[in-house]
Amino acid sequence: MPPLNASFLIEQTQNRTSEPVLLEEPISIEALPTPALVLDRPALGRNIDKMAAFLGDHDKGFRPHAKTHKCPLISREQIAAGAVGVCVAKVGEAAALLSGGIEQILITSPVTTPLKAQCINLLAKQTSGLQIVVDSLAGLNVLQAHLDAEASLGILLDIDVAMGRTGSRDVDLLLTLAEQIVADPRMTFAGVQHYAGHVMHIEDFVERRNKSLALWETVTERLQILREHGYDAAIVTGGGTGTYNIDVDVAALTDVQVGSYILMDQEYRQIGSAENDQFLDFEVSLHVACSTISAPRQGTMTVDGGYKAFASDSVAPVTDDHAGVKFHFAGDEHGVLVLPKGEQALQLGQVVQFVAPHCDPTVNLHDYYWVKEADNMIHSLWPITARGCVW
Ligand SMILES: Cc1ncc(COP(=O)(O)O)c(C=O)c1O
């Protein structure tokens, strides 16, 4: 039995494959083993290019968040489109992405335990491009206690303004952290992060814009204080899909951590955009395909996807292909579709594609993307290498 230590954890994670599997013959959506995650590759490419072009036009860097897709193949496409690096939420995701060839990785959650710090030490010896946020002395000190002399780690201060999830609002603490980072030869003071997740889904665009910019003003004041003490933040990173075209107006911001835009989901489609009351700036490139398997009652159909196929933390899955059909969760393995009155629009054995309620946790339920090309056929499987890397 191997001991549970950092080497074991990293090795287990880095043994996973991240290479695509090409199908011998392309298959249709109808031939999928449902429930199956379908990735529309042309739409994915258009989303990547649109965001890269928008941020480029606004002189902002592009540091997409891989917590959304958990797939090194997708990160590679984002880097090819000009991303300065990628973000991950957790150490396990960093390990998986690194083994998939991604070298510039920012871990956007702090760590505080020896095991995680030991994992970071191992990863920091695999790449000079590893960065992590800190927001406490305990977190910084545990990293310092476990970093070897030859490891190099970029550190960003995580600044909280209003969300209250991670980050610090305490200016004295931020200054003390910066001082200790700069004094440590294994560390580089790389900059700051500010992420306001509670703002991303504010429905009204103007309200979202005003809130986000007001928070960034407070961050900018903190940056000024840091600068006055000799700590210049080369990277000022943050923002997300809901504020991608708002935060570019923040002069201090260097790059945007957009995640969900690449796949899109129903939660995001429901908010307003700069132009209208639906956020359609990016295409839905992710669907969960399910099959109808039973029709126990007039006016309903049961599909083979439930809580294990869709994240259920927010709204219900939605199908754009069958107007008026409503999805209700019916347990771990099933959903019940309520059909529009008087219509039996669906047959048994039919495949129905649903927009994910919330893309990140939906992806984390699946092993592969079934990749659909421009001919509407599935040509390959892309492993969701960091699936389950929630540590
Ligand atoms: C720190 C951080 N940055 C960026 C993102 C990406 O946000 P979005 O998926 O809204 O683009 C997230 C998502 O939760 C996040 O936690």
Per residue in 53-75, pLDDT (tens digit) is 999 999 999 999 999 999 999 99
- Residue 134 per-residue DSSP state: E
Using CB distances shorter than 6 Å, the residues near ligand 1 are 65, 68, 87, 108, 195, 197, 200, 240-242, 257-261
pLDDT at position 227, please? 98
Q: Ligand 1 pocket test: pick from 48, 63, 65, 265 the residue with the most ligand atoms within 8 Å of its Cβ.
A: 65
pLDDT at position 344, please? 67
Per residue in 205-261, pLDDT (tens digit) is: 999 999 999 999 999 999 999 999 999 999 999 999 999 999 999 999 999 999 999
Q: Is residue 239 part of a domain?
A: yes
Question: Alpha-carbon Rg of the chain, whole angstroms?
Answer: 22
Same domain, 10 and 54: no
Residue 325 has pLDDT above 90, yes or no: yes
Please give the number of the atom of ligand 1 that sits closest to the Cα of 195: 1
Residue 316 has pLDDT above 70, yes or no: yes
Q: Is residue 1 part of a domain?
A: no
Q: How many domains does the chain have?
A: 2
Domain residue limits at 194? 41-269
Same domain, 129 and 258: yes
Percent of the chain at pLDDT exceeding 70: 99
Residue 350 has pLDDT above 90, yes or no: yes
Q: Is residue 75 part of a domain?
A: yes
pLDDT at position 2, please? 75
Same domain, 81 and 113: yes
Q: Is residue 274 part of a domain?
A: no
Integer Cα distance of 52 and 270 in angstroms? 23
Smallest Cα–Cα separation from 173: which of 226, 247, 97? 226
pLDDT at position 118, please? 98
pLDDT at position 161, please? 92
Q: What is the CATH number of the domain that holds 62?
A: 3.20.20.10
Q: What is the CATH number of the domain that holds 337?
A: 2.40.37.20
Same domain, 67 and 28: no
pLDDT at position 343, please? 67
Same domain, 104 and 139: yes
Average pLDDT, integer, range 344-368: 95
Give 298 Cα–ligand 1 centroid separation in angstroms. Answer: 42
Same domain, 343 and 379: yes
Q: Ligand 1 pocket test: pick from 195, 262, 364 the residue with the most ligand atoms within 8 Å of its Cβ.
A: 195
Instruction: Look over the chain and give the mean of its residue pLDDT values, rounded to a whole number.
Output: 97
Integer Cα distance of 162 and 197 in angstroms? 10
Same domain, 70 and 10: no
157-161, 315-319, 341-345: range with lowest mean pLDDT: 341-345
